[in-house]
Structure 1
């Protein structure tokens, strides 16, 4: 089969032919499995969606992409963004990284083709690492369900989240999130040429990608650029999802002293990217809720020079219903907190000072009577009269699950369901099997699903083994890709007819009932998952007047 050629606004692209996954059983309406051979799909990789953010464009909002003459090779992925690999802790990528990849089951033919739903993936990595590359996010499962899949890179760490106070300098923060908006604009202009429907775009992401999805739902910049949203294990209310004004901190680490932000910017734009990242402004020990991270999204000041990605408190936006109201699917995995095994050195994993377990957004001064009282309540709730121990890691996993991920996801689901007429679908992913790749990589033996473990049920991961469609793991892959692509197509994850793969109807949250799908080997609809733990945190938050609306 000849390499496919596509013409977009920037020029022509040469892609390649790939094949979706083998051996997966497709089911008829009678529930009888029959084998289907792998089908070809078209892959276009390393497409620039913005001008390279180099030189004076470093730290700035992305600029529209430039065109090219001739046919551009799109058979290989572009560079991922300069960062430290989350697992290997090695430096990867480059500054010239604003690329995306498109995977489509069918290309337009004489304009007669019906356009397909588009699924726009935003990777995780704490806003400091990761990429949209196919080593982790192979589209082979999803594209087989007749959707177009787009994966993107966006600027990370210092390059994506430098924030200065002087608005005239054009670095108010959130450049990495503005990259995502630029990529969505590229989709609106070009996805028809790949057979995708610009009027049916679903944004979805996990961890920092999930919080990015939530931020996009709140940002006026993203209006009209998407039509459905899926946030996996991430939202704007997670404490790790926020950064600070950080130019002075960065310059200090680089031993450059000035209070003049224009000089700061000039200096930081001339420093080599290697030196920028030598500052260790991104600590490995990122799982601290009591400290606001130096790098991450911020609430921007309203500027006369350029539009803000986000200029208001997210909770105000949500409670007043001033966000993009689209069908919303979100959830968490049962033991998100196992992530500490990847991000925190073993000798710092146990929480011994429970003031460190008090989220910074409560605004309680450390060492104050209120802080000590709150710390004691947290310790008593999770540990009772016992002391934290490596012999009882599951209690620590629960605490970190709630504190870093689930509390924020829970209130996101609750408040969106209360302020929109669009459906909100909620889930808890509990599958614990051989496809749980992060848990398997780290070697965690404790029960439960680790943060990011659901990814290998949606994407083909290069280091993962294949799966038997008749196994429990294969069944869960089929469930996940069916739900996610049905939601992208219709705004409803449910199949037209229940069968022996999906045998439970997924109810959205209704009438203040926190309905959720428990995704495990046996499916189950429930209400108010881990509700006792959430009510404990409701009490903790309600005792602080500043954040009582949370």
Structure 2
């Protein structure tokens, strides 16, 4: 699961609270009432689809109907989609979950209130969470400062998660066909393109970006022909591109286990539909701790899109090399210690050399000897740091290099740890750049807690990202002190986010050359 931070709490209690004023926007569906602070306008919980309950559970999302003449109250964050309990302090997890969860949140600068203002670039963010956790309203995504300082319109979208979003039983008329979370994303993106002008956004200047599972989702839309009219450029952050999507055959075991937990006969889809979402989520939590595939990485991300050859036509690393259309401008990158959170969450106690060897053998099988020769045990006490290094390279950095070599315009590595006490009980991430650590810096959502160095990193990241959204060039129009070079054949320079910023070349070249030979399947 994406690392979730104690700074969420800090952000909640340290933001300047002002007397918020309501603001009304007229859309083709009816009026929307949000609110404005001293720096931004905020609209929470705008529905883009009908509630996916009853007969619409495990169905493609249905576009929302007009709510006019009623006025939509968009001042309160919407419920999150159903999900198992977070393995973090409860205050950091969604307070309310509901199957009625297909909503989006919009942040705009105050300047968009003027009818004469020039439409602003739009950025649509797809949140992460292993395709089964978290939501679009977490305090980390409170982006009032971000939109105010950069002059963009920012949208966060929610989509169905876990079993309710990704279970796939087959392609028959009564089957659960899967990929509902991806279809939710598609509909939300289409809604934004059709309606964002009412909020001051330019529907012809949309940047799609996402992190973790949201990064995988962004990569999928990026290589999908049907999605090309809906965005102009993309940013893929920390996508674990080595984790495979399932086939229908690989969803048989999770389906059998779900039937057992719900006391349904295998294949009795009507029984599945009668179950409450609470019972489904209880079953999901139990199945999460079971082995459902020989693909070991699916233990970390068990509910993924299914290759149905309609919505998802293959694995991402294959799709990017087999597109029939020109690829759009792209920023792609990872963090220096992506896997540390997952390894230490999965193994709470030290991993001894003998266990390390068994894990390498189980994961890499015929290639295990080569991996052990290159990465022999280096501690008699605990091999988790070595496992974290291997997983960071194999699951994240090096498979991202494969994708980047075909598609990237700009590449980055984020190497700045949280510079305040933000990891709470996840003390193993203190001083390290764990998965998700860039998000507070990108969205400037914990600005008051940053050191001066952290603020420089944050401001730089926000500027590069939004410059790209405005011009397809992270170096323009807002002047930057460190130019970010394009990726070209034979030139793999990348932006290294540290303080100060650096522009090295050939990140993890020797290691990634090794993993390219081992492969990512």
Instruction: Pick the TM interval, shorter chain.
Output: 0.7 to 0.9
1:426 equivalenced with 2:411 (yes/no): yes
After TM superposition, the score normalised by the length of structure 1 is: 0.81
Which segment drifts farther, 1-10 or 173-182?
A: 1-10
Distance 1:114 1:345 in 2: 52
Question: 2:205 corresponds to which residue?
Answer: 200
The count of aligned residue pairs is 487
Question: 1:544 corresponds to which residue?
Answer: none
Question: 2:58 corresponds to which residue?
Answer: 59
Question: 1:325 corresponds to which residue?
Answer: 327
Question: 2:403 corresponds to which residue?
Answer: 412
Confirm or deny: 8 A CA contact 1:141 1:481 kept in the other structure. no
1:188 equivalenced with 2:193 (yes/no): yes
1:266 equivalenced with 2:281 (yes/no): no
Unaligned runs of 5+ in 1: 20-39, 302-307, 365-370, 418-423, 542-546
Distance 2:391 2:200 in 1: 43
Distance 1:394 1:473 in 2: 25
Cα separation, partners in 2 of 1:427 and 1:214, compared to 1, 3 Å: same
Confirm or deny: 8 A CA contact 1:203 1:230 kept in the other structure. yes
Question: 2:470 corresponds to which residue?
Answer: 489
1:163 equivalenced with 2:168 (yes/no): yes
Distance 1:356 1:456 in 2: 33
1:457 equivalenced with 2:441 (yes/no): yes
- Offset of 1:508 from its aligned partner? 1.5
- Offset of 1:415 from its aligned partner? 2.4
Question: 2:381 corresponds to which residue?
Answer: 389
Give the helix-richer structure, 1 or 2: 2
1:71 equivalenced with 2:79 (yes/no): no
Question: 2:233 corresponds to which residue?
Answer: 228
- Offset of 1:324 from its aligned partner? 6.2
Partner secondary structure for residue 272 of structure 2: helix
Question: 1:83 corresponds to which residue?
Answer: 83
Distance 2:238 2:429 in 1: 21
Confirm or deny: 8 A CA contact 1:285 1:343 kept in the other structure. no
Question: 1:3 corresponds to which residue?
Answer: 22
After superposition, the C-alpha distances for 1:479-532 in whole angstroms (9 at most, x for unaligned) are: 01101110111111114575xxx4321111101322211111122212210111
Distance 1:126 1:327 in 2: 26
Question: 1:50 corresponds to which residue?
Answer: 49
Confirm or deny: 8 A CA contact 1:242 1:297 kept in the other structure. yes
After superposition, the C-alpha distances for 1:148-182 in whole angstroms (9 at most, x for unaligned) are: 00011111100100102133236321110111101
Distance 1:254 1:192 in 2: 45
Question: 1:277 corresponds to which residue?
Answer: 281
After superposition, the C-alpha distances for 1:268-311 in whole angstroms (9 at most, x for unaligned) are: 1110111112222223999996253542111114xxxxxx3212
Coordinate RMSD, CA, aligned: 2.9
Distance 2:215 2:264 in 1: 36
Cα separation, partners in 2 of 1:108 and 1:506, compared to 1, 3 Å: closer
- Offset of 1:412 from its aligned partner? 1.1
Distance 1:324 1:217 in 2: 10
Question: 1:533 corresponds to which residue?
Answer: 511
Confirm or deny: 8 A CA contact 1:290 1:356 kept in the other structure. no
Cα separation, partners in 2 of 1:48 and 1:483, compared to 1, 3 Å: same
Which segment drifts farther, 247-256 or 131-140?
A: 247-256
Distance 2:89 2:261 in 1: 20
Distance 1:497 1:58 in 2: 46
After superposition, the C-alpha distances for 1:313-358 in whole angstroms (9 at most, x for unaligned) are: 4444322333562110010111112112663141386682546447
Confirm or deny: 8 A CA contact 2:143 2:445 kept in the other structure. no
Confirm or deny: 8 A CA contact 1:123 1:131 kept in the other structure. yes
After superposition, the C-alpha distances for 1:448-506 in whole angstroms (9 at most, x for unaligned) are: 411110011012447x74335xx1111111101101110111111114575xxx43211
Confirm or deny: 8 A CA contact 2:113 2:200 kept in the other structure. no
Distance 1:359 1:222 in 2: 38
Q: Which has the higher contact order (CA 8 A, sep 6+)?
A: 2
Cα separation, partners in 2 of 1:413 and 1:52, compared to 1, 3 Å: same
Confirm or deny: 8 A CA contact 1:286 1:343 kept in the other structure. no
After TM superposition, the score normalised by the length of structure 2 is: 0.86
Question: 2:17 corresponds to which residue?
Answer: none
Confirm or deny: 8 A CA contact 1:142 1:485 kept in the other structure. no
- Offset of 1:87 from its aligned partner? 3.5
- Offset of 1:89 from its aligned partner? 7.7
Cα separation, partners in 2 of 1:340 and 1:445, compared to 1, 3 Å: closer
Distance 2:161 2:290 in 1: 15
Question: 1:290 corresponds to which residue?
Answer: 296
Confirm or deny: 8 A CA contact 1:218 1:310 kept in the other structure. no
Distance 1:445 1:174 in 2: 33
Partner secondary structure for residue 518 of structure 2: helix
1:17 equivalenced with 2:9 (yes/no): no
Which segment drifts farther, 45-54 or 238-247?
A: 238-247
After superposition, the C-alpha distances for 1:346-405 in whole angstroms (9 at most, x for unaligned) are: 138668254644797xxx7xxxxxx2x521221231225x45632x54322211211322
